[in-house]
Structures are given as structure tokens and as C-alpha cells.
Amino acid sequence: MIEKVLKGSPPFYIWLLSLGALVGLGATVYLFQLFLGLQVTGLSRDVSWGFYIAQFTYMVGVAASAVMLVLPTYFHHYKKFKKMIILGEFMAIGAVIVCMLFIVADMGQPQRVMNVILHPTPNSVMFWDMMVLSGYLVLNLLIGWVTLEAERHQVDPPKWIKPVIYLSIFWAFSIHTVTAFLYAGLPGRHYWLTAILAARFLASAFCSGPAILLLLCLLLRRLTGFDAGKEAIQTLTKIIAYAMGINIFFYLLEVFTAFYSGIPGHQHPFGALFGGGHGHPLWVTTWMWAAVVMAIVSFLLIAFPSTRDNNSILPFTLIMLVIASWIDKGLGMLIAGFTPNPFEGITVYAPSFAELTISLGIYAVGALVVSLLWKIALDVKKEAGTF
């Protein structure tokens, strides 16, 4: 099936080339980071994780969100998702690759990454995270490829793939749970030290991931004419609506616990995010309030059927939802974990130009992978008459 990528339209190759250019740019800047060290980032002694790890966390969610298509299809025999399920699985592959690249980009000694395997340490959540992410990549490659191959030959997928798919459903929940455990078990980081973090991560993933998938599907419809089906889109938007509702609810639970209990350590990170530090707003404060507004507006728009099923409003709703969840998880989550620092002081962190360029390069790798995989999937569908 791989040969499908060899026959494409000129715009497709221009798109690939532009992505390749971004990858090259990111790789070049990464070389500087490799030789100069992480001093090219905005990270510091007090804020020792930043943009890279935040993007990793966000993209684990996107990877896990494929389960929102897989679960209804295989547990509830919901047939309408059958047509687009491969897109979700292939997007998950791209997302996992992006996650792994962000982890490597964040490491001070990337050439020693195999130490995690050479000296396996089950008491470290990071060890488990590496295991579940690699496993999830293999599962999705296997499932995606086998089911697409079956679709190409217009036969049912082999029976043995069913249990693998069921496994992947549980696996998807595990990858984001383990990622939350990276944070939720650390003493002294109050913003992260919360039992609901894994649940919050999953809720945020299950609204933002499908929202990204749906946005890409809407784009695909304009570019290639591939239609996921009206009912499938409406069901997916309902899933997004529920997940977003739960996501906002969970966040408010955190706010309640912190402020009703009145425990200073639990309040300080919220104070820093939404109010700033030492009387001055931080740059992230503006972003957080923007996220609040976008979260509320997008939830209202997607909660009511009249605006949810309106095709001209939906893209804007989804974009706002994705940005809001990205600010929460891709910016606020990490900054608030390290603010205030262990000495109750505030060390300001902002990603540097190098950090942003490398991140852009990594996202471009993900986009490249998804573009190639989706091209294969759509061409197979055209051949098999399931386009």
C-alpha cells in the first residue's frame, strides 16, 4: 500500500515539501541545542520543564483520543464511524511519534536514551510512559495497517485483530493515565498533586483530540471531497460536547478544592496563572483568561444543537475549543506546576525562539506522517469504493 504515496497531485507534493522545509529548519536549530545544551531554551533551575514536555502531554491526549472512534465502533457496533476510523488511528500514530520526539528534544543527553531500557526502573513513571507509548504506537500501526489492507481487498479483517483492537482501547486510556501519573505523584507540586489529574487529562484529550480530527476531516472534505458522513460528524461533535463539559467541570472541581479549603499551597498556582505574581500579571495570565473565554464560548456553541449542527459555525467552535484546551494543557499546566518555585518565589518562564522553532519542526514531522498515512488510506478507499 505504501506505493500510494508515490502518485499524488502537485499540491500534495508542495505540501509535503513545505513540511519537509519546516522539519529541516527545526532539525537545524536542534543541532544548535545539541551542541550548546538546553541553554538555548527558556528553561531554568526553577522551571525545569517547559514547552517540550507540555506539547508532549498535549499530544499524548491527541493520540489517546482515537479511542473515541474505536470504542463506539467495536464495543457498541456503531457502524457510522467505520469510514473515518482509519483516519483516527493514523492520526494517533503521528501524535505518538510527535510525543516521542518531544521527549527526546527535552533530554539533556539524548544519546543515552537507551539507558531507560538498559536499566529498567519500574518505580519510575517515566519508564512506564515509555513502555505504554511504544506499545500504543505498535498497536495502532498493526491495527491501522491490517484493517486497511482488509478494506483494500474488500474482505473482513482477520479475526485475530479483534482482541488487539480491544486491547488498544484499554491501552489508549492507559497512555494518558500514565502521563498524568508523571505529574500527579510529585510531592510539593500542588497544581499537579491532585487525584483527578488523570481524569482531567482524559476529559481534555477526548474533547480536543476528536476536535482536531474533525477539523482535519472538514478540511479534507474541501480538499479531496472525502466525506466522513453527516451522522458520523454529528455523533463526534456530541462526544466532543460531553467531553468538553466534563473537562470544564473537572477544572472547576480543582478550583473549588483549592479555594474552599483555603490552603495556600493549592491556591498559589491558580493565583499565578490567573492573577500573576507579586502584583504583576505574567504573560501567561492573558493566555489563561483567553482560554477561559474560549472554553466557555466553544462549550456553549457545541452544547446546543442549533449551533452544533450548523456547518458554518462548527469549525470556529472547534478551533476555539482546541486553542482553549491547548492553553490549559500545553502552557498553563507546566507553568503552574513550577510556579511558585520550591522557595515560594516566582521564576518567569517563556519558551525561547529556538524552543518554538524546534517544536514547529516536530509538529511538522507529525503532520508529514499523518499526511502520508492519510494519503494511503484515502487512495485505498477510492480503490475499494468506500471513499
Residues near other proteins (CB under 8 A) are 36-39, 41, 43-46, 48-49, 103, 106-110, 112-113, 115-116, 118-119, 121, 123-127, 130, 182-183, 185-189, 264, 337-338, 341-345, 347
CB atoms within 10 A of CB 340: 20
Report the nearest approach of other proteins to the CB of residue 250 (Å).
22
- Of the pair 36, 255, the CB lying nearest other proteins is at 36
Q: Which helix (H) or strand (E) holds 184?
A: helix 161-184
Bridge partners, residue 277, by sequence:
280
Report the nearest approach of other proteins to the CB of residue 365 (Å).
21
Cell 498535549 sits on residue: 58
Question: In 3-state terms, what secondary structure has residue 338?
Answer: coil
CB atoms within 10 A of CB 160: 8
Report the nearest approach of other proteins to the CB of residue 248 (Å).
27
Letter for the amino acid at 61?
G
Greatest alpha-carbon span in the chain: 65
- Of the pair 34, 384, the CB lying nearest other proteins is at 34
Report the nearest approach of other proteins to the CB of residue 269 (Å).
14
Report the nearest approach of other proteins to the CB of residue 129 (Å).
9
Report the nearest approach of other proteins to the CB of residue 220 (Å).
32
Cell of 370: 499523518
Report the nearest approach of other proteins to the CB of residue 354 (Å).
12
- Of the pair 77, 119, the CB lying nearest other proteins is at 119
- Of the pair 127, 242, the CB lying nearest other proteins is at 127
- Of the pair 263, 296, the CB lying nearest other proteins is at 263
- Of the pair 44, 285, the CB lying nearest other proteins is at 44
Query: How far is 126 from 78, CA to CA, in rounded Å?
Result: 35
Report the nearest approach of other proteins to the CB of residue 371 (Å).
25
CB atoms within 10 A of CB 363: 20
For 312, counting Cβ atoms within 10 Å of its Cβ (0-12 exposed, 13-18 middle, 19+ buried), the class is exposed
- Of the pair 158, 185, the CB lying nearest other proteins is at 185
Name the region of 262 (left: φ>0; alpha: ψ -120 to 50; beta: rest): left
- Of the pair 121, 310, the CB lying nearest other proteins is at 121
Report the nearest approach of other proteins to the CB of residue 264 (Å).
7
- Of the pair 49, 326, the CB lying nearest other proteins is at 49
Cell of 230: 453527516
Cell 507553568 sits on residue: 335
Range list of H helices, the chain: 10-36, 51-64, 67-75, 85-106, 115-118, 125-152, 161-184, 197-224, 230-261, 264-275, 283-303, 305-308, 314-327, 333-337, 353-384
List of E strands, the chain = none
Query: How far is 138 from 295, CA to CA, in rounded Å?
Result: 34
Query: How far is 24 from 16, CA to CA, in rounded Å?
Result: 12
- Of the pair 131, 169, the CB lying nearest other proteins is at 131
Q: Which residues contact 31 (CB under 8 A, 6 or more apart)?
A: none
Report the nearest approach of other proteins to the CB of residue 345 (Å).
7
| End-to-end Cα spacing for the chain | 16
